[in-house]
Amino acid sequence: MFINEVTLNIYLLILVVGLSVLAGFALRAKMANKYRSKIEELERQILNNYEHILELERETLDMETKIEDIKSPVITMKALSKEMVEVPSKKVPDISLRKQLLSKKNMGQQSASGL
């Protein structure tokens, strides 16, 4: 029969197995780092989304408090200016006295002229 001898170098076998193990660990570490960075990115994105949601809830709460503060359901189109609201501080003279004086004066002129 045909006999084939195979010589096996134990040192070479140990070297090949060792390099294979190291290459496997290196690939696995690279994949793990890649997944960690992806997880960190997703966590940052979730935190940003939560921040945006909280900001929108804050705005909604502000709007709700403004609506609750409104006493009447009708919103005026014009706001009264300060000039309209303020009462003039000057004393206005009584016009009725002036009218009476002028009417008496006119009566005297009419009677003097003969009319």
pLDDT by 10s per residue, the chain, length 115: 678 777 888 999 999 999 999 999 999 999 999 999 999 999 999 999 999 999 999 999 999 888 877 766 666 677 665 555 555 556 666 777 777 777 777 666 665 555 5
How many residues would you count in the chain? 115
**Predicted pLDDT at 70:** 73
Gap between the Cα atoms of 13 and 21, Å rounded: 12
**Structure tokens, 96:** 């009725």
What number of CA atoms fall less than 13 Å from residue 5's CA on the CB side?
Answer: 2
What b/e readout covers 58-77, taking b as 16+ CB neighbours within 10 angstroms? eeeeeeeeeeeeeeeeeeee
pTM over 0.75: no
